[in-house]
Amino acid sequence: MSTSYDREREVALHAVRKAATLCQAVQSQIDPSVIEKEDRTPVTVADFGSQALICNALREAFPDDPIIAEEDSSALRKNQGVLLQVTQQVQQIRSGVTPNTVCSWIDKGNAGEYSDRFWTLDPIDGTKGFVRGDQYAIALALVVDGVPQVAALACPNLPADLDDDDAPTGQAFIAVRGDGAYQVSLNGEDDSGTRIHTSDAETPANGRFTDSFVSAHSAHDMAKETGQRLGITADPIRMDSQAKYAIVARGDAEIYFRLPRPGTNYTEKIWDHAAGMLVVEMAGGTVTDVNGDPLDFTHAPLLTENTGIVATNGHFHDQVLDALEMD
Ligand SMILES: Nc1ncnc2c1ncn2[C@@H]1O[C@H](COP(=O)(O)OS(=O)(=O)O)[C@@H](OP(=O)(O)O)[C@H]1O
Ligand SMILES: [Mg+2]
Ligand SMILES: [Mg+2]
Ligand SMILES: [Mg+2]
């Protein structure tokens, strides 16, 4: 018996759209407050506000579903000034909400560990890009029995056409396993959107690859050398966030490399990949780690069984893995 995820799709899309509205409002301010977390990575008013809105929307629609999200309210409770700013932003969308309620909504996202059915949320993926005014994404996925089934990915700064400087920006992507991937408007009313497909290139040579903007997040040199071995001559598309998955899914790039830097042993987080992976797969692409293993979401919140990520258009995945020369 197949399961219909119509309601999950609708709630997820609506939630990421509302969160995108909040993020755009914060990004339009000159100087969004940035807090440094204990792991020295940044978090902003918009990360907290986005998580509060989405967790509340999920709580209302699916009260029994656990949520494994990136942020928690501990840093916020210690910073009343920023908590007030977050509350004011959330009030633009949910009037009358109090700071305490905002914190409790955020902490609804702290389920912490794996279960048979859970949501995973990155309220702002690519926070560094967001602060810079570049690309970022709001990434939400429903994982059932360890497999992402529904994905909603909002990319508020992504141009409709990467090669056209005047193209309008702001896209959302939605995918349900077995039912394709779609690009939908970010702020509009139309929920059905346009079906997207990965590039139909049969060989990598004339293609493009995308990798991290921040060199600490992926080995740029290794991606470049692998690209050369594949005969790729185009410059890499360096971009923050899961917008990288989105551009592979709609055929703007053939490959996404996220390659571990030598001497580091960073473990990827599930919320950085669950939504993007499903969008690429449902558009016809393939996503594995650098060893060719499928991403294993059963060790949430971490991808402990995986090393790095490779996403391709699905036509020459093994060739790309071979060119990586991992062993
Ligand atoms: N050292 C290291 N290696 C790999 N990944 C790391 C590392 N440190 C952080 N992160 C995670 O990277 C997330 C942002 O990834 P991006 O693909 O947007 O990176 S980049 O901006 O394109 O460089 C970022 O997600 P956000 O925190 O949501 O922005 C982190 O989860
Ligand atoms: Mg972060
Ligand atoms: Mg992230
Ligand atoms: Mg984040």
Give yes or no for a contact between 285 and 180, defined as CB atoms under 8 angstroms apart: no
Q: What three-state secondary structure class fits 118?
A: strand
Instruction: Give the active site residue among 44, 127, 198, 312.
Output: 127
Q: Give, using CA atoms, the residue closest to atom 14 of ligand 1.
A: 126
Question: What one-character-per-residue DSSP string does 242-254 give?
Answer: THHHHHHHTTS-S
Which CATH number characterizes residue 254's domain? 3.40.190.80
Q: Is the pLDDT of residue 118 over 70?
A: yes
Residues 162 and 39 in one domain: yes
- Are residues 129 and 248 both part of a single domain? no
> Is residue 182 domain-shared with residue 318, that is, in the same domain?
no
Structurally, the chain folds into a number of domains equal to: 2
- pLDDT tens digit string along 36-82? 888 888 899 999 999 999 999 999 999 999 999 999 999 999 999 99
Residue 201 lies in a domain: no
> Is 221 assigned to a binding site?
no
The residue from 164, 196, 228 where one domain ends is 196
- Looking at residue 141, its amino acid is A
Would you say residue 26 lies in a domain? yes
Residue 193 backbone phi and psi in degrees, to 5: 70, -165
Decide the pairing of beta strands 147-159 and 169-176. Answer: antiparallel
Kindly provide the ipTM of the predicted complex, given to two decimals. 0.96
The predicted structure's pLDDT at residue 90: 98
pLDDT confidence band for 327 (50 / 70 / 90) = low
* Residue 225 sits in the same domain as residue 311: yes
Task: Indicate whether 41 and 165 sit together in one domain.
Answer: yes
Q: Is the CB of 212 under 6 A from ligand 1?
A: yes
Question: What is the span of the domain harbouring residue 186?
Answer: 6-196
Per-residue pLDDT of 245-258, as tens digits, reads 999 999 999 999 99
Taking the C-alpha atoms of residue 223 and residue 321, their distance in angstroms, rounded to an integer, is 11
The answer to whether residue 202 is domain-embedded is: no
Using a 10 angstrom Cβ sphere, with 0-12 exposed, 13-18 middle and 19 or more buried, the burial of residue 145 is: exposed
Tell me: do 229 and 157 sit in the same domain. no
Q: What percent of the chain has pLDDT over 70?
A: 99
Residues with CB under 5 A from ligand 2 (ion): 41, 127
320 and 177 both lie in a single domain: no
Please indicate, yes or no, if residue 1 is contained in any of the structural domains.
Answer: no
Domain end call among 162, 196, 230: 196
Q: CB of 241 closer than 6 A to ligand 1?
A: yes
Residue 65 marked in a binding site? no
CA-based nearest residue to 16, from 194, 150, 160: 150
pLDDT at residue number 126: 98
Helix axes 80-91, 6-27, angle to 10 degrees: 120
Residue 189's pLDDT is 77
Residues 38 and 179 in one domain: yes
Q: How far apart are CA 308 and CA 111, in angstroms?
A: 25
127 annotated active-site? yes
In this prediction, residue 326 has a pLDDT band, given cuts at 50, 70 and 90, of: confident
Q: Is the CB of 125 under 6 A from ligand 1?
A: yes
Per-residue pLDDT tens over the stretch 273-298: 999 999 999 999 999 999 999 999 99
